[in-house]
Structure 1
Amino acid sequence: MNDGASVDTKIQPDIFDAACDLLGLGAFVYDRNDCLVFASRQVLRFLPIDAGLLVPGTRLRDILGAIYDAGLRYGISSERRHRKVNREEWISERISAHWREHHEMVERLGKDRWIQFRKRRLPNGWNISTLWDVSDQKRQEEQWRADTNRIALTEEVLEALPSPLIIKDANLVYVAVNKAYRAVPSLEADAILGKTIWDLADAQTAARVEQLDLQVLKTGIPTRVEERIVRADGRPLYVSTHKYRIGMPEKYFVVTVMDDLTDLVEPAGSATSPRFDLRADTHFIPAQNCVDPVVEAEKRVFLRHCDAEGGGDLAGKRILVVACKSRAEGLMVADLQARGADSCAVHSLGEFRAFVETAAACNVPIDLVLLDDAFDGHEEIATCGLPVQRLATDSISADFFAALFEQQVVASEGSEPHVRDVPPSALFDDWHIATDFDGLSPSAQGDIEVLVAEDNQINQFVFSQILEGMGVSHRIAENGEEAVALWRKHMPRLILMDISMPLKCGIDAAAEIREAEKALGTYTPIVAVTAQALNADMQKCLDAGMDDYITKPVSPDMIEEIYRKFVTGRTGSVAA
């Protein structure tokens, strides 16, 4: 009988341990004296403590002390996370929670790890505590929140677009329309969504639109068509309609975007013949996302020559550009045409002779020839008897450097651009190059209040939402190198520095800022932002010169308390 009882006693913990393995749980069982009765092997996956502690008879206080010494600080309220927690104080709080009849919480114990703690006190005084990894669930929740925010932002942007936008499903039923489109028929969304074009337009128009939609839906090839639409108030709307197919097979959508060209067109049709032409006085000027300052300077030098020859008024002038193709078309012809000149280019001596002969035969005078000095045969052209302005494009003169630092200002729409001088100091208001710190002002007042160094886009969004809600001006740096550069440029009043970033970690960035401040004679509070509050990490942050730390996930209360402590408390100002 005794042997049977001892075997049963050993089988019960083994069954409990196997059940924990199957469920992925870590489990503790304590008696009424807070001494360990059982601990599953899974516990070591959650808590970095010595396996030698997980034996029957170990006190709860000793296990909690080992957890604290390992650097874990779960169960701390958000307002206290940025402060150092006393060891005995933390152990006492955990024991107090341990004696509740039922206690449950979810804690973040790593950058991407969340653990759910559950405790249950039985009537006989024994306690059962379980630990469960809910990281996948939390990541899904964060992704869901990010997707929800992104969808809301997308809907807000589409709703505010000035161009009418329509989305139809595979059955060509309206599933989304923005405000600009609803204004055309003057209908509410409920009167459009769920319907087809046949419910909203006459049969002829509906058949034409449906044919285009079906073509895009079947082939996936975008189409473009010019249309004349009559608004609900009777005014005509001239649009260039683009249709696209998006989505996956079996879930295709047709997106229609209408570009309003009403202000640019010369009506040439009717409702049954919607064709139109651009107005004669409509000019498109070249533009690009990235401006090459050298190319722009060359343009201004060339046009200055034109102004000097033509008295500054180029409207109606017939100007022939003689230069290599790339320079003539890339720098001059479009700009001359935009300023009202009738301009074109020739690229060889033969083309020049033929052009001059044809112009003479047609009695079309040439008012000015702009001649590139590097052009092969320029001597013959210079002595052709026409007004010639020679351009020394192969040499960079003082005019070139003057033009490089000029700023063109357009006073109003349709006015001619003019040039004004810019003080040299203004050229460097937005950037600087320095080999040391002697040229930087030690008393420079920052133009933003908070610099956030954070590489995770979701966390960037969270920080921005919180700081915007507080009315605090801020900038976001995506890595440590950018954080140092933005600090030099803006001299913020506070830096929130993530310690784990690409290119340069937050600790190295903080150390570089502190070293630079020795030469500048300034001091910027730096608060570390960490995924977990480990003693080793906190000491590294302090050694790098940081003033405090907070742990993720951040909250408005946490950021506001840090802001009050390091910004409002120092400057006495309150964010609007």
Structure 2
Amino acid sequence: MNDVASPDANIRLGMFEAACDILAAAVIVYDKNDCLVFASRQVLRYFPIHADTLKPGTRLRDVLGAIFDTGVRYGIPPEQRHKAVNREEWVSAQISVHWREQYDAVERLSRDRWLHFRKRRLPNGYNVTTLVDVSEQKKQEEQWRSDLDRIALTEEILQTVPSPVIVKDRNLTYIAANKAFCTIYNATPEGILGRTVWDLADAENAERIERSDRMVLETGEPFVLPEHVIRADGSDLYVITRKHRIGAPGHHVVVTVMDDVTALVAGAASVSDEGDTLLRVPGGFVEGQNCFDPVRDAERRLLLEQLGAEDLRALPGKRVLIATPNTRIEEILVGEFKARGGDCCAVRSRYEFDGFLTLAAKHGLAIDLIILDDNMPDYQAMFDHGQDIATRLITPDGIGPDFMRALVEEHELLSENGSPLGDILTPVSFSDDWYIATDITAMLPAAVGDVEVLVAEDNQINQFVFSQILEGLGISHRIAENGEEAVMLWRKHQPRLVLMDISMPVMNGIDAAKEIRQAEELTGTHTPIVAVTAQALNVDMQNCMDAGMDDYITKPVSPDMIEAIYRRYAAGKLEKSVA
């Protein structure tokens, strides 16, 4: 048996020391008798003890005592660090930790220094301890937490600011939107963040807003504009919109603040002509975005009318459960109840309903009101399950894709006494009328029909929106449900303008436009055709232009958008025809 160290032992020890230096880690090894076997040079960086203390054979107790004598105190809970510490008690506590099979902790040695301790007890009784300085990492973590706290505080402040505030990144994507701005669109932050103005505004306003955003982003010059906006609830909002660029180069963002001056404008309207106005705006207010959705408003009123006025007044602080399979109803009621101060959520099935009530009872949460949709499968059984809770049954017939039909039926029932919905034109079908088909070549080139606008749209909700807008503008119109019907009605009525949805059944809008253009080649006439698209994709626009269309607009449409298109293409045509 040879107890002499092997010839390459020193080489291995040197390599181990070099590895510790490269890793910036201190390593200490004790044997099963708690005597020091090895300590790397890095240990002296962390503990200001004498080098002789780290010689092989030194007892663990003596090493700990030397560390204590330098004033270093690790392993002490923060709440006890201000108290006096007994030397023997501290050494004994560290020996106890030393004998654990595993130990892993980050200890703070001073105000700005942290060490990561790792201890492992091997099966042969040896203990290996590593120490790594993680001061920079901890400083970054503290800075990160501090930044998060500041961000949370900033967001809280933004949410309470009464004026709408939004922030867009250098790609003009919304990255922040406060509650006042979301209220304008009746939207949630999730429905706005990550999107662009093209997703929220009509094409004309989106182009105008993006142009000013890019000017501010590129030049850094502030932008100011008085605007008149129609909120989603139909009310007027007069604002002074201010845009600023902030941030470092390469990380600029555009901050838009809309100072609400509605009260001043409304007050000015009540001042007599002899008095001074409350607010003077050179050039007046620019007509901005129209966020009002007549279909959604009609749906909202239809739903709320089925609930008692007392229930609506008592909503603040109440817990409300909505059971409906219709996501549109869920969105409207949850948003409405939360806006009125209620704590509200929704379920979409009998399984979710039963599970929710069971879980609420288990945690002692009382449900104050249940809104139950009678379109819900097994709604009667659900009504019985929640019989101990105030339950209101709603019959929202037609809300969603069939809402247009429900409105028309209501209009017909009220037609004798006058419908509050105004005159609604029921979408035309092939069997609603008859006409004599003539050879297109025999039609007069200058023929102008009695219908000003032909709308080709297959979605009933969008049909209703077009009808309401055109009726409000006093423009006669007809509606086609597909491209084939659009061509037929174009031949029959020779409208002054065609608004053509490009995605329709039977025949799409692009093929319908091509057929109309082929027919016009024989007569020498030209009807302006404007494409209506769900999103402005370059490939869609090119296909529309190739089919002979004159222009395009994107959904959702607004009265301002339709009026602008009508004035551009149809109004001028009418004046020429009259002349």
TM interval, shorter chain, is 0.3 to 0.5
Q: Which has the higher contact order (CA 8 A, sep 6+)?
A: 1
**TM-score, normalising length from structure 1?**
0.44
**Normalization by structure 2: what TM-score?**
0.44
